Amino acid sequence: MAVGKEEVEEIVKARTDKREYRRIVLPNSLEVLLISDPDTDKCAASMDVSVGAFSDPDGLEGLAHFLEHMLFYASEKYPLEDSYSKYIIEHGGRTNAYTSSEHTNYYFDINADAFEEALDRFAQFFINPLMSADATMREIKAVDSENQKNLLSDGWRMNQLQKHLSAADHPYHKFSTGQELTLDYNKNSLTQCS
Ligand SMILES: [Zn+2]
- Print the domain residue range for 90: 41-193
Q: Which residue has the higher pLDDT, 193 or 94?
A: 94
CB 175 within 8 A of CB 160: yes
CA 21 to ligand 1 centroid distance, Å: 31
Query: If 0-12 CB within 10 Å is exposed, 13-18 middle and 19+ buried, where does residue 91 land?
Result: middle
The reply to whether 71 and 32 lie within a common domain is: no
| Separation of alpha carbons 49 and 172, rounded Å | 18
Pairing of strands 20-25, 31-36: antiparallel
The reply to whether 11 and 98 lie within a common domain is: no
- pLDDT > 60? residue 2: no
pTM of the model: 0.83
Q: Is 139 helix (H, G, I), strand (E, B) or coil?
A: helix
- Which residue among 7, 10, 68, 90 is the active-site one? 68
Give me the pLDDT at residue 123, please.
Answer: 96
- pLDDT > 80? residue 3: no
H/E run at residue 137: helix 133-150
Q: Which residue has the higher pLDDT, 6 or 23?
A: 23
Taking alpha carbons only, the member of 27, 46, 43 closest to residue 103 is 46
Instruction: State the greatest distance between any 2 C-alpha atoms of the chain, in Å, as a whole number.
Output: 63
The reply to whether 46 and 33 lie within a common domain is: no
End-to-end Cα separation, the chain, in angstroms: 61
CA 4 to ligand 1 centroid distance, Å: 34
Note if 102 is an active site residue: no
CA 5 to ligand 1 centroid distance, Å: 35
- Which residue among 7, 31, 139, 146 is the active-site one? 139
CB 61 within 8 A of CB 54: no
Give me the pLDDT at residue 184, please.
Answer: 84
Give me the pLDDT at residue 9, please.
Answer: 65
Residues 23-51 have pLDDT tens digits of: 999 999 999 999 999 999 999 999 999 99
- pLDDT > 90? residue 187: no
The reply to whether 85 and 144 lie within a common domain is: yes
CA 6 to ligand 1 centroid distance, Å: 35
Give me the pLDDT at residue 1, please.
Answer: 45
**Residue 17: count of CB within 10 angstroms of its CB:** 12
CA 98 to ligand 1 centroid distance, Å: 7
Note if 139 is an active site residue: yes
CA 120 to ligand 1 centroid distance, Å: 23
The reply to whether 77 and 150 lie within a common domain is: yes
The reply to whether 78 and 25 lie within a common domain is: no
Residues 50-82 have pLDDT tens digits of: 999 999 998 899 999 999 999 988 999 999 999
The reply to whether 133 and 145 lie within a common domain is: yes
Mean pLDDT, range 160-175, rounded to an integer? 93
Helices (H) and strands (E) in the chain, counts: 7, 6
Residues 88-105 have pLDDT tens digits of: 999 999 999 999 999 999
Q: How many structural domains are present in the chain?
A: 2
The reply to whether 98 and 130 lie within a common domain is: yes
The reply to whether 159 and 170 lie within a common domain is: yes
